[in-house]
Structure 1
Amino acid sequence: MAQDQPEIGVLLWQIVSPFLILVGTFGNVLSIAILNQKRFQKQPSTTLLLGLSVADLCMLYVGLLRQWVKYVFAVDFRDISEITCKIHGWLIYVIADCTVWILVAVTTERIIVTLRPFSSKRICTKNLSIISLITIVISAMVINLHVLIGYELTENAISNLTNTTVICGARAGAYENFFDNIWSWIDLCKFSIIPFIVLSSGNICIVYKLMQSKKRVSSQITPGTTQNANQNNKTSSLTLLLLTLNAVFIVCTLPICIYLIGRPYWLPKDHPDDLRLKDPWWAVVNLLMYTNNTCNFLLYCLMGSRFRDEAKNIMNTLRTSIFRVKLARTQTGSESPTIAHRHSLTEF
């Protein structure tokens, strides 16, 4: 049973990866199309959610697609050259950090809207959202710059312990020690622990404030409060969506951080690298992380009625367009024999 266990990890990569890529591509592309509609452009958080959808797409194609190709075709983009090794390793850290901190930025915007509803329109503007997005991207690029310097192609033992293969990884020596023992903790803090604290604290503040707001609204039964109640319902809907996104993010990303910290202790360094990569738990925690980049669209649809209605409109429009194209092709095909027959008659 132990000999078959590593193959379970390979099967998970081969079977689950294409499903996540297809679903994630459809969902994120449709999310981008919906969030670009006029009815969503009024909200400053739309800019950040657009950035989140783009980052999720990049995460799937830069990260998960590489893993699927590696486990199906035994080809790793990182191992092609020193340049691809450095750039790809750096990019995956940058994109992963962007997805996390964009969600933190959206949560911060919701906290301001909930706690300071009157001044939020002055503070939370679209320009501020754009500046926040740019700041997050630049910060992620700078913080992870050391990967461009420290990653390189190195020889590594394969499972029979008699041959070596060239793989991309941390440079042996001081940088490898820094990467395994120091950077793994820094990455845990910036990718999971700090966002977890910010998101959890923000969620508690938002929920507490919403509960107080609902109590006040329920105690006021005058006709003039109907508009305010509707506005509160819209705010509550968006906030519920955010709380769900935060919860899914924490559940999906915390396991891989814990795994990366614990791996040096339960998998010795002299363990062949190809066997380490076939570890089923390595596949599980990675695929769980990529699930977070896949399921945001489904959460939007489940939690947001306006988003769901807009998705239906786009799908109906797309279905109508496809039907018209097929109908036009059918009519062209049915008319062409008649036209050809007329041309043949004029030749006699």
Structure 2
Amino acid sequence: MANNTTFDLSHLLYRYPSRTALLEEFAPAAPLADKIVPPFWYFIGFLGNPISAAVWLGQRMRRNNSSAIYLGALSIADLIFLFLHLMYVLHMSWGHDIYNAEISCEIFHFAFYVPQYLSTFLVLAFTAERYVAVCHPFLKEKLCTVQRAVVVVFSLLAFSLVLSSAQAYIWTFSAPENSCNVRPEAAVGDHWSFWSVWNWVTDIFAFGLVPLTVLIFNVLVLKEIYKISRKDALTRQHSQINGTGGGRSSGGNSSASTVMLLSVSSYFIFTQLSATIINCLNSSFPHGEMNMTDSQIRADKTWSSMFTYLEVRKVVEVICMSHYACYFFIYCLTGKHFRKEVLRLMTMNGKIQFLNTLVTKSRRKERYSMVSTNGGPTTETFATNFSTTM
């Protein structure tokens, strides 16, 4: 019995049965980052995402504005993810058994991936729509409609549910360890196991290829905007030379809307690709010999490199998850009508008299053209008391 105990304690996983305990001992910056940084995103996201969803899905913004459907759904998906991530941090970093039980282990990991996939696909959807609106304007009336946006959102939700369903098989509750672990059957084959292959394929697709596709669409949109701006500048110059006037283009609201969506998707690309790239480096930092003592592990270059990598990866991950919380600031900075709707909500539809007076004064002076009719009546394209652009 003594020999068995000695052998068990010589193995790293017997000395540190949980991943959190192992990291706290050899890579303390990783669990510390999980405890310090995400609460900031929770505070911002739990306030900003519900406000964003209420504004985008409100009748004033979603009416004849398909982009509002995508942005409203994105706010809801991000809010759900932040809530689930809070549960994950409480479980992994703070030691609370949130989902260490039969059924809840499988359900949690299934649910945890759904909003991550959906958030990524929604950014792709409204970026593709903006590409159509800018680069193929004659198709805008047909493809960029509110009804189509609703169908696309629910289709992407169904696709996300299908992709996430494999996690319910991969993860299971293990009673002997009293923890939620990868199912043994799913781990057979090491690097070629179902668990490893499935996660690699889906992560590269959802968090690698999709952001790259968004990047390509953004480049094409910016290229088209540059061509249009250059053409407009030449036209105005020609008009001035010939004395024909040449008034300003009436596409101000559409341009503002494009700036907002490009800003959101660019922020998404930067944060998501950064996290994906550093995760893809995981195989470059293997662990060392499992039967080493703690002092030997600290002196070993292989183990030291792996733990340093894990610390850097965790810091990058928690910083890059800011895109689930901070879109609200982009909406406020780039969206004049979004800001006004937020103020309207803050005044409780005019019940707070002081703020309502400020908002009303700023509204009386303006009439805006809409970004697109999105299937709406032609008369609404040119003038409306309240624009549903962003």
Query: 2:89 — aligned with what?
Result: 68
| Residues 9 and 193 of structure 1: CA distance in aligned 2, closer, same or farther (over 3 Å) | closer
Q: 1:167 aligns with which of 170, 179, 188?
A: 179
TM-score (norm 1): 0.78
1:108 is the counterpart of 2:123 = no
Q: 2:167 aligns with which of 147, 153, 162?
A: 147
Query: 2:33 — aligned with what?
Result: 12
Which residue identity lines up with residue 297 of structure 1 in the other structure? F
Which residue identity lines up with residue 166 of structure 1 in the other structure? N
Deviations 1:12-44 (A, max 9, x none): 222222221110111111111221344422211
For residues 289 and 351 of structure 2, what CA distance do their matches in structure 1 show?
Answer: 59
2:120–2:211 Cα contact (<8 Å) kept: no
1:256 is the counterpart of 2:275 = yes
For residues 54 and 223 of structure 1, what CA distance do their matches in structure 2 show?
Answer: 47
| Residues 271 and 299 of structure 1: CA distance in aligned 2, closer, same or farther (over 3 Å) | farther
1:136 is the counterpart of 2:136 = no
Give the drift of 1:217.
2.5
1:184–1:260 Cα contact (<8 Å) kept: no
Give the drift of 1:141.
1.0
Q: 1:118 aligns with which of 138, 149, 173?
A: 138
* Identical-residue share of aligned pairs (%): 21
| Residues 224 and 309 of structure 1: CA distance in aligned 2, closer, same or farther (over 3 Å) | farther
Q: 1:82 aligns with which of 102, 111, 124?
A: 102
Deviations 1:91-125 (A, max 9, x none): 11121110000000001110110112233122211
1:21 is the counterpart of 2:42 = yes
1:18–1:68 Cα contact (<8 Å) kept: no
For residues 49 and 316 of structure 1, what CA distance do their matches in structure 2 show?
Answer: 23
For residues 152 and 295 of structure 1, what CA distance do their matches in structure 2 show?
Answer: 33
Query: 2:61 — aligned with what?
Result: 40
Deviations 1:157-179 (A, max 9, x none): xxxxxxx8432232124545435
For residues 278 and 131 of structure 2, what CA distance do their matches in structure 1 show?
Answer: 32
Compute the RMSD of aligned alpha carbons.
Answer: 3.1
Give the drift of 1:211.
1.2
The gaps in structure 2 that reach 5 residues or longer are 1-22, 292-305, 356-390
For residues 170 and 94 of structure 1, what CA distance do their matches in structure 2 show?
Answer: 18
Give the drift of 1:11.
2.4
Name which of structure 1's ranges 176-185 and 306-315 shifts more when overlaid on structure 2: 176-185
For residues 282 and 90 of structure 1, what CA distance do their matches in structure 2 show?
Answer: 23
1:32–1:50 Cα contact (<8 Å) kept: yes
Which residue identity lines up with residue 51 of structure 1 in the other structure? A
1:13–1:71 Cα contact (<8 Å) kept: no
Give the drift of 1:299.
0.9
Give the drift of 1:195.
1.0
How do 1:255-294 and structure 2 match up within 5 A? Answer: 255-268=274-287, 279-294=310-325
| Residues 322 and 184 of structure 1: CA distance in aligned 2, closer, same or farther (over 3 Å) | farther
For residues 177 and 164 of structure 2, what CA distance do their matches in structure 1 show?
Answer: 26
Q: 2:119 aligns with which of 88, 95, 99?
A: 99
Which residue identity lines up with residue 10 of structure 1 in the other structure? P
For residues 37 and 128 of structure 1, what CA distance do their matches in structure 2 show?
Answer: 18
1:215 is the counterpart of 2:230 = yes
May I ask how many residue pairs the two structures share in their alignment?
A: 307
For residues 5 and 230 of structure 1, what CA distance do their matches in structure 2 show?
Answer: 60
| Residues 27 and 3 of structure 1: CA distance in aligned 2, closer, same or farther (over 3 Å) | closer
Runs of 4+ in structure 1 over 6 Å off: 2-5, 269-272
1:60–1:290 Cα contact (<8 Å) kept: no
1:184–1:261 Cα contact (<8 Å) kept: no
TM-score (norm 2): 0.70
Which one has the bigger helix percentage? 1
Which residue identity lines up with residue 230 of structure 2 in the other structure? K
For residues 223 and 131 of structure 1, what CA distance do their matches in structure 2 show?
Answer: 45
1:313 is the counterpart of 2:344 = yes
Give the drift of 1:270.
7.7
Query: 1:298 — aligned with what?
Result: 329
For residues 133 and 303 of structure 1, what CA distance do their matches in structure 2 show?
Answer: 24
Query: 1:56 — aligned with what?
Result: 78
The gaps in structure 1 that reach 5 residues or longer are 156-163, 325-348
Query: 2:254 — aligned with what?
Result: 235
Q: Provide the secondary structure at the position in 1 that maps to 2:230.
A: helix
